[in-house]
Amino acid sequence: MTTATAGFIDTERQKLLGEQTHVIAELNNLRDLMQAEVDVEPDEGDSEIFEREKNAALIAVLERRLIDIETALKAIEKGNYGICTRCGTAIERERLEVKPDATLCLNCQREVERLSRRNRPQRQIDW
């Protein structure tokens, strides 16, 4: 069963390709920045290190984003775009319009987020 029409998938594909170009450019920028900032002045050490950690975190986020985008593009090629990789049901179309690289349906996304929150050593208010 599929709710996605060819026109819709084509629009999503265009969005993904645009996003992919953007993310790759951003990653290249950040990586250049990381390379350029190898020489750290002792005075600026702390803020430099903070900047680098921020950039490293951003790179990690973008790399994951890129993988999601590539996964979605591959799914389009294979003809199973918009199918949740966790439970196999069709991902909500409204969700795909907002997040074309979504690989999980809303229910699974919530479940995954709930589980990852639980694994974090944070105090949980649970009632």
Q: Verify binding: residue 65, Zn ion, rule CB under 5 A.
A: no
Q: How many CB atoms lie within 10 A of CB 68?
A: 19
**In terms of CB distance, is 57 or 112 closer to Zn ion?**
112
Q: Does 84 bind Zn ion (CB under 5 A)?
A: yes
**How many of the chain's residues bind Zn ion (CB under 5 A)?**
5
Contacting residue, 15, 65, 86, 95, with Zn ion by CB under 5 A: 86
Is the Cβ–Cβ distance between 110 and 92 less than 8 Å?
no
Strand partners, 90: 83
Closest CA to 19 of 91, 87, 96, 79: 96
Which among 9-17, 25-33, 36-44, 106-114 is the span making contact with Zn ion, rule CB under 5 A?
106-114
Q: Which of 101, 93, 15 is nearest to 63 (CA)?
A: 101
CB of 49 to Zn ion, least distance (A): 40
Measure the N-to-C terminal CA separation of the chain; round to a whole number of Å. Answer: 39
- Verify binding: residue 96, Zn ion, rule CB under 5 A: no
Whether the Cβ atoms of residue 101 and residue 16 lie closer than 8 Å to each other: yes
Judged by CB under 5 A, the stretch of 9-17, 22-30, 71-79, 84-92 that binds Zn ion is 84-92
In whole angstroms, the minimum distance from the beta carbon of 20 to Zn ion comes to 24
Residues forming the site for Zn ion (CB under 5 A): 84, 86-87, 105, 108
